Amino acid sequence: MGSRNYPLDTSSLTISAKIVLAGGFGVGKTTSVGSVSEISPLNTEAWMTEAGEGVDPVDPGSGKTTTTVAMDFGRITLHPDLVLYLFGTPGQARFWFLWDDLCRGALGAVVLVDTRRIEESFAAVNYFENDSDVPFIVAVNMFDGRLTHDLDEVREALALAPEVPLTTCDARDPGSTAKALQELVSYTMNLSVSYGAP
Amino acid sequence: MIETAMRSRRVRAYALTGGRTRPRHHLLVETLVSVPHYDPQFSATLLPESQALYELARERISLAELSVHLTIPLGVIRVLISDLAAQEMVFIHPTGYAYQHDPIILERILDGLKELPA
């Protein structure tokens, strides 16, 4: 920490952290980012000028009117010196290459599931189970405020390991989204304790 | 025509970085940067894109937000910020990743989330 690059006034030091919201297309990632973010979710389309052109077909049945070309992110200033960023993963398969970059350094991930289209989130669960060290939990998004399948059925359908926390949330509700984020952070803390601090 | 426009824009972005694609610093999308001591004379010497970064970073800002505000791909932002940091003109704040096993930081994040207005 003796670098001259360090600001003279260390009170200006701010730590930023990141949580990733993952899941397939139309499961409510943008909604949940927007529900707790202090800024309107920013769309990172700008990064994607080389990779993404055109838009994805939106299932007319989903009632989704905005199209996510790339990924959205939001910001929560938790303390004056601690800022949390929430990043929604790009749902489309052709953006898989971005997941590693996006997930690097994340405290954890919440995989959102829509039980009406559970298969939309298979790929995200696979990714965090097999291709990533980032701790993750799964949250069933209750679009209409109620749960259409019980959680055991969802766990079975996702072939989710018993140790992975499974919860519910309403992506539109800030309190509910915040709760899911709390569950994730608690889970990450428990993992840190059981792994032991390096 | 559209194809040509797209291509020239792509080349331009990476030409800015002198062809470099790997920054010297470990910069995550959420990494915050800020200008510790603003120097208008230094700013005036910068290429427009770096100058825009330097000006925006007078207030603490993340790489992801810089990318959005300036419509510059994140990879390019990383390299340009890295150059400014190497000249000690921009400070790179630590990310939570460095504290991932630090219970105090995680506890503070949890406390902050609990205090959010529902």
Q: Which CA distances in Å does A90 have to A191, B29, B49, B100, B104?
A: 27, 14, 27, 24, 31
Two tokens at B37?
A: 């001591």
What mean pLDDT do residues A23-41 have?
89
The pLDDT confidence band at residue A129, using thresholds 50, 70 and 90, is: very high
Is residue A102 predicted with pLDDT exceeding 90?
A: no
Average pLDDT over residues A164-171: 95
Tell me which residues of chain B have a pLDDT lower than 70. Answer: 1-25, 118
Q: What token pair was written down for A52?
A: 């993404």
Closest CA to A114 of A24, A176, A35, A27: A27
Considering only CB atoms, which chain A residues are within 8 Å of B64? 42, 44, 73, 85, 87
- C-alpha to C-alpha distance for A84 and A178, rounded to whole angstroms: 12
> Which among B31, B73, B110 is the nearest to A47, CB-wise?
B73
Q: Is the pLDDT of residue A162 over 90?
A: yes
* Secondary structure (3-state) at A192: helix
Q: Which of residues 133-172 of A touch B (CB under 8 A)?
A: none
For A159: left if phi > 0, alpha if psi spans -120 to 50, otherwise beta; the answer is left
Residues 88-107 of A with CB under 8 A from B: 101-102, 104-107
CA distances from A25 to A22, A71, A120, A135, B75 (A): 9, 11, 7, 21, 25
pLDDT of A56 above 60: no
> What sign results for the dihedral spanned by CA atoms A25, A26, A29, A33?
positive
User: In this complex, how many residue pairs, one in chain A and one in chain B, have their CB atoms less than 8 Å apart?
Assistant: 154
Whole-number pLDDT of residue A44? 67
- Asked if residue A43 lies in contact with residue B68, where contact means CB atoms within 8 angstroms, the answer is yes
Assess B96–A contact: CB distance below 8 Å, yes or no. yes
A13-22, A100-109, A170-179, B4-13: the lowest-pLDDT one = B4-13
**How far apart (Å, rounded) are the C-alpha atoms in residues A41 and A191?**
30
Q: Report ipTM for this prediction.
A: 0.81
**Quick one: pLDDT band at residue A55, thresholds 50, 70, 90?**
very low
CB contact under 8 A, A107 and B96: yes
CA pair distance A151, A144, nearest whole angstrom: 16
Cβ-count burial of A7 within 10 angstroms (0-12 exposed, 13-18 middle, 19+ buried)?
A: middle
HSE of A11 in the Cβ direction (CA atoms, 13 Å)?
Answer: 0
pTM above 0.80, yes or no: yes
Chosen for mutation from A5, A179, A195 (greatest number of chain B CBs closer than 10 Å) is A5
